[in-house]
Structure 1
Amino acid sequence: MLNKYLKISLVQLIAADFIFLNAIFFVAGFQVRQYDLQEHDGANVFLIVSNISWAISLYITGVYTVNQHLSYERMARRTLRAVLLYLLALMMFLFLYGHLYSRFFVMMYCSLFIGYVAFSRAAFTWITNSILKSKEIERKMVILGYNDMSKKLADNLLAEKSNLRFEGYFEEYANVTELSYYPVIGNLRDCVPYAKAHNIREIYSTLSPEQHPYLYTLAYEAEQHFIHFRFVPDFRMFVNRQIYVDYFNNIPIISLRAEPLDDIANRIRKRLFDIVFASLVTIFLLSWLLPLLALLIRLESKGPVFFVQYRTGRNNRTFRCLKLRSMYVNGEANSKQATRNDKRFTRVGRILRKTNLDEMPQFLNVLTGDMSVVGPRPHMLKHTEEYSRIIQQYMIRHYLKPGITGWAQVNGFRGEITENSQLRKRVEHDIWYMEHWSVYLDLRIIFLTVANTIKGEKNAF
């Protein structure tokens, strides 16, 4: 029932967003009174851009992808991100066509919409909280087994704001050797009679059916009385981390990590983003910047403008990675990593590396499909072989296309690797990115990369 309520409420909330988004356009225009919006040449364009920007912001941030374990903190963060993305898109439009609109109109329009979003989310939170506390949708539950897993399950379920109410455990009394925080109601055979008498809607079992065959009988009896019976397997003896379960023709398959980019729709979404972003950079930046930098490089030292090096790409395939040459031509370029006071740097090269301009030709690698705008940074082949022997999980990062920038880099793990801990942290950040990828995360990393470049980084040399 709660899931149905959430779905209906969120659809209504989305519809209300767009109704209000269009309504305040005329309210703000009426207040300004500097021109008639209905006769203004750019009115329709502004309204279309505003609606598209909000739709894209909602989609990218996933504001409405919530379930019955509703997290208001998560929803608030995503809503804030959506508003910021919306304002950014609107400001980009106004940067080009802002002369057509009154500044006071734009400020009033944005202020009214932000005020509406804050009010509507607060109202949604209050209404949902009230419903969660109502007895009509309350779901009582019990847990079979008293062990570390059952105690952790109880804590996690009750930590979420939902309509669950935990009654207690069912376990053989001889197996309980401590004073439990929640009551041990009875043994396993008491479970179904108790559930029927006290309107229990869900039973979670942390016990293994192989060791307790009676659980199958319990599950059958529970379903005969419309009580949901759920098994909670404990995989900690095999792997001490979160795991993910998929199904292939009703066969459960356990994975050690979630990989959003395994979904072909997400891969297409990321590839389209790469093509659009790299094309814009190539047309508006590289078209004039590369010839200028090439001239400076050639004036200072002899040798090619581009430094082309084979590096490790997705699925351990090699590719030709493009960079602007920042060193004098030398025989150690493919075996020795750059150090802080490396004498091989040219004067122009030091500036290029400090500002990350030496990486700009890699947008061409993005267009050819060898790289992505955001992803794990590629290493030279010699280092890939060395690092894979040092860090057990190192090769996992090659499930993805390498990137021009990455989550590890914006968190300070870039440049020379002198300790195994530096490499380990870099790999951990790359794997975290792989498990949490989203378009919003890519945009955030790009923004942080630009911000770090402007303010300067101690590891950039």
Structure 2
Amino acid sequence: MKKRYSFLIKPLQLIVDILLTNIIVYLLYNKGYLNFYFLLYLTIFWCVTSYISSYYKVYRHTRILRLFSLIIKQFFLFFLGYFAYYGLFNEGEIVNNQFLILSVITASLIVNKFFWFILLKKYRSKGNNLRSTIVLGFDESAKNVIKLFKSRTNLGYNYLGFFSNKEYKNKKKIGKFNEVFEYVNKNEVDEIYLSLSEHTKEQINEINKFATEKDIVLKLIPDSIELYSKNQSVEYYDDTLMVINVNKLPFDFTQNLYIKRIFDIFFSLFICVFILSWLMPILWVLVKLESKGPLIFKQKREGLNGEEFICYKFRSMRINDFSDKVHATKNDKRVTKIGAFLRKTSMDELPQFINVLFGDMSVIGPRPHLESLSLEYQKDVDNYLKRHVVKPGITGLAQISGYRGEIKKASDIKNRVRLDIFYIENWSFFLDVKIIIQTVLNVLKGEEKAY
């Protein structure tokens, strides 16, 4: 099996487990009670619980204790689901060989789990299914990683050599740091291991960006147990050897972008059809009666990747020359009476659901800023530009946490950015739902900074 087919290993394991389960049930189940729905239930339940328990997340460096942990977690869930079937669908039904079936399934699938684990190690020890690796740096930690690659052939790593700016008389030294990029472009490299102690922050960022572009796995070799970022986690290749794995963030996965976009479209359509359709004519009359000017206020804001887009809001101020330069402040004389109500209830933001339909914004995300203010914030706040890797939102984690409206001091924008980055690094669909619910609750009880 060549490396390009490695992605089929886990799906194949899942298929074999499902086939074993179905065959065992078919052979042992009382034929008078056997039905298609029970087999379908077991199949779906196994797929769902194995995803929840990460049952198939076994890698070439996974230790035997980790395997036992996965088995215990998965079969605990499976046992609950197995017996729940009779309580939910066949209440009162007694099948004499229920425990026999469950015991045979459990034993068979555990044996199959270890069979795959041992088979792959044997297969890799013979030089198959290898991952080509290079190491950046040659300190003691890097040497331990190299030693592991050479001594543990069953892990399936093909060590190509190392790079270092220091002089070493070692035939496995390929070149200096700045030669890594050309080497990787000309050779097949699957994983890069980088020693933190030998490289600057700039070099680490440069390699991280390069590895992401080339879809190469980057792992950091630490000289301490400190983790440097939320998107990193510790992995143990042996009882004492630790590396830091650079994990992908939620929005690096295409399926998450699709999930978020589909939700944005349906949620925005609902708001536009059932709220904006009747609210806009009413507000048009009220806004026009109090002040001259259009109902919709248009303003340039920074969006995805820092690109500008036109952001829509219900106009809440009298026409003035400072709307693109100065945030609204408490008791701002520019705000009209109907505008004060719109801002207090956050109804002035509703037209941004049209921005969401156009694809310029998302329902949830970092709030978009004016370009002039954004340039100012970049000077004072580290990692400010990370906010631009996702679409801006109508509401966000920072807003429901109390950081909305006027920026009075440096800590206001720093805390807002901190929460925005936390959202990006920890996104989930349920987090979006939680933020929407909290936003509605905040609106209903009134927000102090909504002016």
Question: Would the alpha carbon gap of residues 288 and 11 (structure 1) be closer, same or farther in structure 2, given more than 3 Å must change?
Answer: farther
Partner of 1:347: 337
> Does 1:220 pair with 2:139?
no
Distance 2:361 2:143 in 1: 53
Question: Would the alpha carbon gap of residues 343 and 268 (structure 1) be closer, same or farther in structure 2, given more than 3 Å must change?
Answer: same
Question: Would the alpha carbon gap of residues 279 and 250 (structure 1) be closer, same or farther in structure 2, given more than 3 Å must change?
Answer: closer
Q: Secondary structure at the match of 1:261?
A: helix
Q: Which runs of no fewer than 5 residues in structure 2 stay unpaired?
A: 1-9, 23-40, 59-65, 78-86, 90-105, 118-135, 160-191, 221-228, 232-247
Aligned-pair CA distance for 1:453: 0.9
1:99-136 per-residue CA deviation (whole Å, 9 max, x = no partner) reads xxxxxxxxxxxx979xxxxxxxxxxxxxx9xx99xxx9
Partner of 2:325: 335
Matched to 1:342, the amino acid is D
Partner of 2:443: 453
Partner of 1:289: 279
Q: Is the 8 A contact 2:365 2:391 kept in 1?
A: yes
1:151-194 per-residue CA deviation (whole Å, 9 max, x = no partner) reads xxxxxxxxxxxxxxxxxxxxxxxxxxxxxxxxxxxxxxxxxxxx
Question: Would the alpha carbon gap of residues 63 and 246 (structure 1) be closer, same or farther in structure 2, given more than 3 Å must change?
Answer: farther
Alignment of 1:43-54 (within 5 A): none
Matched to 2:250, the amino acid is P
1:364 pairs, out of 354, 361, 378, with 354
Aligned-pair CA distance for 1:366: 0.8
Alignment of 1:108-123 (within 5 A): none
Q: Secondary structure at the match of 2:196?
A: coil
Partner of 1:309: 299
Question: Would the alpha carbon gap of residues 288 and 63 (structure 1) be closer, same or farther in structure 2, given more than 3 Å must change?
Answer: farther
Distance 2:137 2:422 in 1: 32
Matched to 2:335, the amino acid is F
Q: Secondary structure at the match of 1:363?
A: helix
Aligned-pair CA distance for 1:438: 2.1
Greater mean alpha carbon deviation, residues 267-276 or residues 210-219: 210-219
Q: Is the 8 A contact 1:209 1:215 kept in 2?
A: no
Aligned-pair CA distance for 1:304: 1.4
Matched to 2:196, the amino acid is F
Q: Is the 8 A contact 1:245 1:252 kept in 2?
A: no
Distance 2:139 2:407 in 1: 49
Q: Which runs of no fewer than 5 residues in structure 1 stay unpaired?
A: 16-50, 80-110, 114-127, 140-206
Q: Secondary structure at the match of 1:271?
A: helix
Partner of 1:319: 309
> Does 1:235 pair with 2:225?
no
TM-score by length of 2: 0.55
Matched to 1:310, the amino acid is K
> Does 1:418 pair with 2:408?
yes
Q: Secondary structure at the match of 1:323?
A: strand
Q: Secondary structure at the match of 2:286?
A: helix
1:272 pairs, out of 259, 262, 265, with 262
Aligned-pair CA distance for 1:344: 1.3
Distance 2:334 2:285 in 1: 19
CA RMSD of aligned residues (A): 5.1
1:58-109 per-residue CA deviation (whole Å, 9 max, x = no partner) reads 79xx74556576999xx9xxx9xxxxxxxxxxxxxxxxxxxxxxxxxxxxxx
Alignment of 1:19-58 (within 5 A): none
Alignment of 1:48-447 (within 5 A): 63=52, 65=54, 67=57, 210-211=139-140, 216=146, 219-223=149-153, 226=154, 235=196, 238=200, 251-253=216-218, 257=231, 258-447=248-437
| Fraction of identical pairs, as percent | 39
Distance 2:215 2:338 in 1: 60
Matched to 1:276, the amino acid is F
Question: Would the alpha carbon gap of residues 310 and 210 (structure 1) be closer, same or farther in structure 2, given more than 3 Å must change?
Answer: same
Question: Would the alpha carbon gap of residues 355 and 248 (structure 1) be closer, same or farther in structure 2, given more than 3 Å must change?
Answer: closer
1:326-357 per-residue CA deviation (whole Å, 9 max, x = no partner) reads 11221111111111221111111111111110
Question: Would the alpha carbon gap of residues 440 and 354 (structure 1) be closer, same or farther in structure 2, given more than 3 Å must change?
Answer: same
Figure out how many residues of one structure are paired with residues of the other and give that number. Answer: 309
Distance 1:353 1:249 in 2: 46
Q: Secondary structure at the match of 1:382?
A: helix
1:277-301 per-residue CA deviation (whole Å, 9 max, x = no partner) reads 1111111111011111222111222
Q: Secondary structure at the match of 2:333?
A: coil
Distance 2:413 2:215 in 1: 40
Q: Is the 8 A contact 1:391 1:424 kept in 2?
A: yes
Distance 1:454 1:319 in 2: 30
Matched to 2:433, the amino acid is L
Aligned-pair CA distance for 1:360: 0.3
Matched to 1:261, the amino acid is F
Aligned-pair CA distance for 1:228: 8.6
Q: Secondary structure at the match of 1:416?
A: coil
Matched to 1:448, the amino acid is Q
Q: Is the 8 A contact 2:194 2:219 kept in 1?
A: no
Matched to 2:281, the amino acid is P
Q: Is the 8 A contact 2:312 2:351 kept in 1?
A: yes
Distance 2:213 2:325 in 1: 45
Q: Is the 8 A contact 2:138 2:195 kept in 1?
A: no
Distance 1:331 1:312 in 2: 20
Question: Would the alpha carbon gap of residues 246 and 326 (structure 1) be closer, same or farther in structure 2, given more than 3 Å must change?
Answer: same
Q: Is the 8 A contact 1:245 1:254 kept in 2?
A: no
Distance 1:222 1:300 in 2: 78
Distance 1:305 1:248 in 2: 45
Partner of 2:162: none
Question: Would the alpha carbon gap of residues 338 and 264 (structure 1) be closer, same or farther in structure 2, given more than 3 Å must change?
Answer: same
